[in-house]
């Protein structure tokens, strides 16, 4: 019986040892699992933080995009207004250039007329002088009086 008791004691010790080893192994696995859980939780927290940063950046970029779109539309509108003004200015410039050419042409024509009239005047002046000289030559003496006399002296 003692032998059986000893065997039973050995079996008990063996089971206890195996139970302790199994318990130790389970505890180690539990600790590893808890460490992995903590590591995963930290990774999740970092991922959530990055996600929030990206979401914030996305919202800021979306707002910037809206602002740029508005500015682009305003600049396009201003460009159309300026193009319209430029077309008006080009049209006025064309009209002014045409008017300038017309006035320059008219000036040249008037200048030519002036030169022609001055030439005619000079000829008439010479003819008048020649006529006055001819009249003085034909005029009666100074004491008789003359109905055609103008009182001017020949050569003036």
Q: How confident is the model at residue 22 (pLDDT cuts 50, 70, 90)?
A: very high
pLDDT at 130: 85
What are the pLDDT digits (tens) for 42-99? 999 999 999 999 999 999 999 999 999 999 999 999 999 999 999 999 999 999 999 9
Q: List, as one string, the DSSP characters of the chain.
A: -HHHHHHHHHHHHHHHHHHHHHHHHHHHHHHHHHHHHHHHHHHHHHHHHHHHHHHHHHHHHHHHHHHHHHHHHHHHHHHHHHHHHHHHHHHHHHHHHHHHHHHHHHHHHHHHHHHHHHHHHHHHHHHHHHHHHHHHHHS--TTT--TT--SPPTT-
29 within some domain: yes
pTM of the entire predicted model: 0.46
Q: Is residue 138 part of a domain?
A: no
Structural domains of the chain, count: 1
The whole-number pLDDT of residue 133 equals 87
**Residue numbers of the domain that contains 40:** 1-93
Task: Give me the pLDDT at residue 49, please.
Answer: 97
Q: Pick the more confident residue, 76 or 145.
A: 76
pLDDT of residue 39: 97
* In a domain? residue 151: no
130 versus 78: the higher-pLDDT residue is 78
Query: Is position 100 within any domain?
Result: no
Residue 113 lies in a domain: no
Say which residues have a Cβ less than 8 Å from residue 154's Cβ, sequence separation at least 6: 132, 133, 136
Residue 110 lies in a domain: no
Please give the DSSP secondary-structure letter assigned to residue 155.
T
Is 135 within the bounds of a domain? no
Q: Quick check: is 68 in a domain?
A: yes
Q: 155 CB contacts (<8 Å, ≥6 apart)?
A: 133
């Amino acid at each position: 019986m003692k032998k059986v008791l000893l065997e039973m004691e050995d079996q008990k010790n063996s089971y206890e040892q195996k139970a302790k080893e199994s318990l130790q192994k389970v505890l180690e696995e539990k600790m590893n699992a808890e460490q992995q859980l903590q590591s995963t939780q930290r990774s999740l927290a970092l991922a959530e933080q990055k996600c929030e940063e990206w979401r914030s950046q996305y919202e800021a970029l979306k707002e910037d995009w809206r602002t740029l779109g508005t500015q682009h539309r305003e600049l396009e509108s201003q460009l159309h207004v300026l193009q319209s003004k430029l077309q008006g200015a080009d049209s006025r410039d064309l009209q002014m250039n045409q008017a300038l050419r017309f006035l320059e042409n008219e000036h040249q024509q008037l200048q030519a007329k002036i030169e022609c009239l001055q030439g005619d005047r000079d000829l008439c002046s010479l003819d008048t002088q020649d006529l006055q000289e001819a009249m003085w030559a034909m005029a009666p003496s100074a004491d008789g009086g003359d109905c055609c006399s103008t009182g001017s002296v020949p050569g003036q």
